[in-house]
Chain A
Amino acid sequence: MISLILIGAAAGFAGISGMLSLLLPRRSRDQFFAACMVLSGAVGTAVSLFLLVSGQTLAYESPWLLPIGRFAVRLDSLSAFFLVPVFLVPSLAALFGSSYWKEEEHRSSAGFLRIAFGLLAAGMAGVLLAQDGVLLLIAWEIMALSAFFAIAAGGAGAEVRSAAWVYLVATHVGTLSLVGCFTLLSAVTGSFDLVPLASGVGTGRELSWLFVLGLVGFGLKAGIMPLHVWLPGAHANAPSHVSAVLSGVMLKIGVYGVIRICWMLPSEPLWKSWLLIGLGAGSAVLALLFALGQHDYKRLLAYSSIENIGILITGLGLAHLGHAMGRPILTLLGLAGALLHVWNHALFKSLLFFIAGTTLHATGTRRLNALGGLGKKMPKTAAVAAIACLAAAALPPLNGFVSEWLLYRAVLGDWTASPGGAGLPLAVAVLAIALAGALAIAVFIRFFGTAFLGQERTESAAAAHDPSRGMLAPMVILTGLCLGIGLLPAGALWMAARGSAFWIGSDGVAALAATPALWTMTAIGIGLLALAATWFAVLRNPARSSAPSRPGTWGCGYARPSARMQYGESSLAQSLIGLVRGIVLPRRKLPSLAGPFPASSAFETDTPDVVLDRAMLPAFGWVARGLTRFRQMHRGRGRVQVQILYLVVGLLLLLAFASKGEG
């Protein structure tokens, strides 16, 4: 009980700390806010970890003043598991933001950004604690609206405004879907409680509608393709520490919702699991194909987030399939892998956005092709970036690999266990994750190589410098956590097993914990690190390299290479984009060379989001134009009277339809 009060107090304190900071004089507001968030984050993380390890489920309820729903709070293993990144990442992001988005530099936006940030953290914690549908929707709206204000704080330009509006529309479509889902839930079960439905409650059609509405509502927040349209714009244009929280944690709240829906509804029929696996596999591969074409490194990281959400949903689909078919290996390892990936992605994606923020702060540009050679100007950031890119590409011995390995192990274990089960179609999941892994390497070499290696391509890259301690400290903490989980996969799986206790029970937890392979991986990881360090020290020995003056790059005889001759991000991705141009539909603007003495012209490529820029926006524009024509049909001919007539006719038709339904 005390733990519940502590968590609630930590969340509430985080929520009001932004407003509290306004009471202080301007020069100490940043530090005060960061200190409040770090304090609430530390308390929240510690209590959540304690509850996760002890495995208790806490609940509290009381009536309230609204006519529907009730104030029912529940903290089971899933909530505790998700609460850990919800408290950890925003506190580190607030610490980063105190040096990154300083009051002096951003007078107009820093104040309400702090308020929105605090409310965002509180809203996310509220969603995780809610057991009642109405309470969840209230917390959901707090979270969604404060995220809107946080994104809009990114600047006053048209791009930021457009991204914020697209986000707002998308999140409210999701909320609408959730309202529909919870209303149907209360019609089926009689209450808004988010607990597993008793067997026999609800017809097949009602359960299918509940599943689809919940998937659409929570999936819009999670960013599953094709519901991801708001993600690239919002994450690219928000301030970087806000992007870190959005990518690292808010997407996971959507995934939490999808897991709850899967847990509440019965697992049959099988099309639900295959839908999850298909959507996850498709998101994982397609998102990386789009990431390959982005010229803005924050959009690249946003698409990479969509890929990781795809992998999460695939793992969840595997677990759901295992639960429906009675294949315990799929359920245990699939769910544990998906949950561990929640933590892993929260850690390395927020780290990557901190690095992006540092780079943006140092160079002032979001164009990847304007950077280069930052490794020599910002050595500490480059070292951290190398580890972050390795983690994001899911390479051993870092944490991204461990969760993907668990998902592979789930499918392999299912195939080699008793015969039967899903069989060949599971190969789709494995193939998607394998292809996503190979493409992720290309994407992150593109990011790391173009930004941090080689020579600087523009003046802004030449002026870069390492960030202050306030920005470096959160990055180092997250790097340490990534390395720690990567080198200690047994401990990580133990935590993920405790997190999945809500679905698989304590015997499942015990069965998962007995996976000896993971200690071998620890040994391999440490051994490889030691061996690589030895070789590296041998090579770095100054006696091995020649005279003190280092010449330019030889490059097979190029006497005077220039920085613009280097392979940049578009060159690295050109062949791959060319192979998939039918899916990605890149836009090319070729130079126009007319006449014998052509004027100067330019070549441009762009990879707009297929779903948003080539399907939705044109469709919305077409609908808007049609409706505007319809509205203007009665211009100057008693327009208001005709529109009232339309309203009355529409109402009469609705009444007739409704009464026909009842009679």
Chain B
Amino acid sequence: MTNRWIDAALGVLLLLTLPFLLQGVIIKTKAFFGGRSGPPLLQPYYDFFKLLRKQMVLSRTTSWVFLAGPAISLTAILGASLLLPLGGRSAPIHFAGDLVLFAYLLALSRFFTAAAALDTGSSFEGMGAARELTFAALAEPALFLGLLALVKATGSMELSGLLGHAIAPVWSTAAATLVLVAAGLFVVVLAENSRIPVDDPNTHLELTMIHEVMVLDHSGPALGLIHYGAALKFFAMTSIIARLVVPVSTESILFNWSVFVAAMIGLAVVVGVVESVMARLQLVLVPNLLIGAGMLTGLALVLLFMR
């Protein structure tokens, strides 16, 4: 019982502190590939605290939605992350059917990000909102098919079961389907978190922006909260893949959590490598990529039913 409390406390602690470290790891990996030494590893933390100290500049076109956007978006992602069994045993909050709540809380954060973008009355932000809504509509079936495949494979309806204690035995019986699910969900992670090949987080060109462009007019603490929300969303979605690929769930809390942190940093390095060796896809080809990811996870689901 105390183990559960320690698990929950460690989970919340990591949730609050680790996301920016992953962003730093990705930046360092890309710098390594670029032959640079790059900014310090903890730079995202410094940026976040600097932004919290600054004042905001609010446009007269915006209304309460502009500030409600970052607030509700961050809250929704935080709520979704509390449903994930990061340490391998059980999440701080879990109940049967919570995977649907997870997906819909991410959708809630997307609604308010798009609303805050449209609130500025600028065509640039509207363009980002339009692209975001289109690609999210295509990524949602892929995410749901992946989660459904995991439900069928593990026989559990909770994320704490799907990604917790029940996933490790599935590797010995249906490893191929788990590889397909992991591949499909990896593409969804890249798409939802504005990573190459779907979006370039470092660019400020109209041709290439999706997520960066929606937050152009935010500044100060609002921008800090947005960066934190984005980092947290990346952390949450990558942790699904980490739990899939490294489903360690032993009795030793220290071992579980060390392996989890190592897996997350490893996945951040992988994302950094993917971003460095690939170019961004043409926007008209992104729907093909997302539908392809949906087909991978759908194939995994069909394979599970044919066993």
A interface with B by C-beta (< 8 Å): 372-373, 375-376, 379, 382, 386, 390, 393-396, 401, 404-405, 408-409, 412-413, 415-416, 423-424, 427, 430-431, 434-435, 437-439, 441-442, 444-445, 448-450, 453-455, 516-517, 520-521, 524, 527-528, 531-532, 535-536, 538-540, 544-546, 550-556, 558, 561, 563, 565-567, 571-576, 579
Contact = CB atoms under 8 A, between A and B. Distances in A.
B292 interface: no
B256 interface: no
User: 3 closest pairs, A vs B, by CB?
Assistant: A567-B126, A555-B122, A449-B118
A213 B59 CA distance: 58
Interface residues of B, number: 76
Contact of A427 (B100, B103, B145): B145
A372 B105 CA distance: 27
Interface string B269-307: 000000000000000000100000000000001100100
A434 B144 contact: yes
Interface in B139-159: 140-141, 144-145, 148, 151-152, 155-157
B93 A553 contact: no
19 contacts: A373-B121, A375-B63, A375-B64, A396-B104, A396-B105, A409-B96, A431-B141, A434-B144, A435-B137, A441-B133, A454-B119, A454-B121, A455-B121, A539-B225, A550-B59, A553-B120, A554-B59, A555-B123, A572-B130
Contacts of A416: 151, 155-157
Given A390-B108, A566-B122, 5 more contacts: A382-B63, A405-B104, A424-B305, A442-B136, A454-B61
A264 B62 CA distance: 55
B90 to A, nearest CB: 13
Nearest to A564: B123
Interface stretch (B33-41, B71-79, B174-182, B231-239): B71-79
Nearest to B114: A445
Contacts of B213: 556
Nearest to B145: A431
A566 B125 CA distance: 9
A300 B152 CA distance: 37
Given A544-B56, A579-B134, A438 B104 contact: no
Contacts of B201: none
Interface of B: 55-65, 67-68, 70-72, 74-76, 78-79, 93, 95-98, 100-101, 103-105, 107-108, 110-111, 114-115, 118-127, 129-131, 133-134, 136-137, 140-141, 144-145, 148, 151-152, 155-157, 204, 213, 216-217, 220-222, 225, 287, 301-302, 305
A388 to B, nearest CB: 13
A244 to B, nearest CB: 24
A351 to B, nearest CB: 17
A393 B108 CA distance: 9
A520 B91 CA distance: 13
Contact of A435 (B67, B105, B141): B141
Contacts of A532: 68, 71-72, 75
B133 A445 contact: yes
A546 B61 contact: no
Contacts of B104: 394-396, 401, 405, 437
A551 B60 contact: yes
A386 B144 CA distance: 26
A558 B67 contact: no
Contacts of A539: 56, 67, 70-71, 221-222, 225
B216 A550 contact: no
A567 B127 contact: yes
Nearest to A434: B144
Contacts of A579: 134, 287
B121 A393 contact: no
Given A394-B104, A405-B101, A555-B122, A435 B140 contact: yes
A413 B59 contact: no
A551 to B, nearest CB: 6
A4 to B, nearest CB: 39
B111 A535 contact: no
B124 A558 contact: yes
B59 A376 contact: no
Contacts of A408: 97, 100
Contacts of A415: 151-152
**Most chain-A CB neighbours within 10 Å: which of B125, B148, B301?**
B148
**Most chain-A CB neighbours within 10 Å: which of B111, B137, B204, B305?**
B137
B55 A545 contact: yes
Contacts of B145: 427, 431
A197 B9 CA distance: 58
Given A520-B93, A567-B126, A448 B115 contact: yes
Contacts of B134: 442, 575-576, 579
A376 B17 CA distance: 38
B130 A453 contact: no
B59 A552 contact: yes
Contacts of A386: 65, 115
Contacts of B72: 532, 536
A445 B63 contact: no
A133 to B, nearest CB: 40
A524 B126 contact: no
B227 to A, nearest CB: 14
